[in-house]
Amino acid sequence: MKPRLLCLLLWGCAPVEINQNQGSTPGVGDDTGVGAGPDSGDSGAADPAFEDRMDIDRLLGHLDALQAIADGQGGTRLAGGEGYRLSADYVQQQLEDAGFVVEVQPFSWSGWRENGRPAVESTEGSHWDWGDDILTLTGSAAGDVTGPLVLIDPTLPPGPENSSTSGCEAGDFSEMPAGAIALIQRGGCTFATKVALAEAAGAGAVLIFNEGQTGRQGVVEGTLDSASYPGIPAVGASFALGETLAAALALGPVEARVFVDAETSATEAVNLWADLPGDRDQLVVVGGHLDSVAAGAGINDNGSGVALVLELALQIKDQGIVPSNSLRFAFWGAEEAGLIGSFHYVATLEEAELNRHLANLNFDMVASPNGGRFVYDGDGSADLGGSPAPVGSDLIEDLLTGWLDAGDLSWKNTAFDGRSDYGPFIWAGIPAGGLFSGAEGRLTGAEATAWGGEAGQPYDACYHAPCDSSDNIDPVLFLELSRAAAHATWALAGIDSLGTPGPTALAPGLRPLAGLHADLPPDAERACHPASTR
């Protein structure tokens, strides 16, 4: 048990002070020069103690409801399925019972589903296991392909992380015969790029194995670009399997088989939101994605964000106060399929409605069991790469870090790398910010000193896995981030301006919404959560 968990169980403390070592890790604590944000009462409408209304029992109650829905629907709340529909019904009913009018926005996309487990085997009889050795890449075409295995420009033994450029250039496939199975190493470019180049060169199937460094040895699991799914089977593999096959190829030709049973079809889901009208026409959108992956219930990813946004809406409504700026509490569909719902929302806004949008707050994974307090880098000071944030995002970061600093709660920046639903907003020039507790990345020693937890282990070992259940939660971290979110929301409800040129004036480097998924950032393979997947 983490030390701060005992505090919560005994006293319900808020915020909870843990072992502090601010500045021990670059970007952790107040060494970034970010000062405290305004008190929540500065909005003129907010209760100065409003964030204390975020109650852990109520937050966990929402997670239990989502878990029960998944349990009754094959263990998942995947967009387009009954588990997702019932999740949307739950959120809508909670909001309507509180007196909100709920807007439901249907949308459709080309959805992908897997009907059975993949197979990878050699014609000599070796075969490898689903889960331990191989996983189908989301978006893979169905197929049963047998052909020569061809190793594509690997870096073996592996160099520094993301140094391999295997399969990132058309010339990498120049000696591959048509119909071959391309064995490609992770790194350097997106999975979608590797698969597309292999297919263009005549490959019959693709097997992408992990790069090989610490933290990049397990089975590659990712999502291909839903705007242009490939026409050949594509499977992820562990580094160990890739290394084994590369060694076999060094001894002579290898004939292999790749089998995928999947299909793509028109799929429908909804976004839904509820507004709290304000005195001004400016609009702050507070959101998180409602869907899970197919593999599990998605209780941390992203039931935690759903519970935060939902409870925040209910508590603000209960205050009975009209904010200065209008607030919109939004629940996006099909984020796990490639930010489909939030893209649809932003892309269908009329110009006048787009110009109303003052800011977007995004909450996606805020209760990771071995996690920490990550704040999106709105001012770019952490030099993390990713998409540039529109002017005003720095002030949103200040609001969040200011509250954390005031409670002696250390934090660290995370990049706007396009892997969650803030993406369409910042690409349209709308300032954004939010909180995150960690996904498949690993807790460092310095982070463990500052936050507690087990160094060297994933922030969330159940990320995109069947075990992402209601047991996969750190309730103290969940409460801390929920209260920080409540503080920032109330502050934004009363702010006059974020100093922005307007959302239709795109900041330098921001991509237009035209084409939606064309030219996604190079680390956006899964279109979900801030961590490199190259």
What is the chain's alpha carbon radius of gyration, rounded to the nearest angstrom?
A: 23
Most distant CA pair in the chain: distance in Å? 74
**Using one digit for the tens of pLDDT, what is the confidence trace for 202-239?**
999 999 999 999 878 989 988 888 778 899 999 999 99
Other beta carbons within 10 angstroms of residue 220's beta carbon come to 26
Hey, is 117 helix, strand or coil? coil
- pLDDT (average), residues 325-347: 95
CA distances from residue 126 to 144, 210, 511 in whole angstroms, order as listed: 16, 20, 46
- The token duo for 470 is 């209601």
- The token duo for 271 is 């976004």
- At residue 9, does pLDDT exceed 70? no
- pLDDT (average), residues 511-533: 37
Residue 275 is predicted with a pLDDT of: 98
* Residues linked to residue 78 through DSSP beta bridges, in sequence order: 292
E strands along 203-261, which residues?
205-209, 234-237, 255-260
- The token duo for 93 is 């009913």
Q: Which of 240-249, 303-312, 460-469, 499-508 bottoms out in mean pLDDT, i.e. has the lowest?
A: 499-508
- At residue 384, does pLDDT exceed 60? yes
d(CA 17, CA 28): 15
Phi and psi (nearest 5°) for 434? 165, -175
- At residue 314, does pLDDT exceed 80? yes
Active site residues per annotation: 335
Alpha helices in 416-519, H assignment, sequence order: 423-427, 445-451, 475-494
Higher pLDDT pick, 90 / 21: 90
d(CA 403, CA 166): 44
pLDDT, the chain, mean: 85
- pLDDT (average), residues 159-187: 95
Give which of 215, 528, 481, 477 is closest to 370, Cα–Cα.
477
Q: How confident is the model at residue 465 (pLDDT cuts 50, 70, 90)?
A: confident
Hey, is 532 helix, strand or coil? coil
Q: How confident is the model at residue 179 (pLDDT cuts 50, 70, 90)?
A: very high
d(CA 422, CA 430): 9
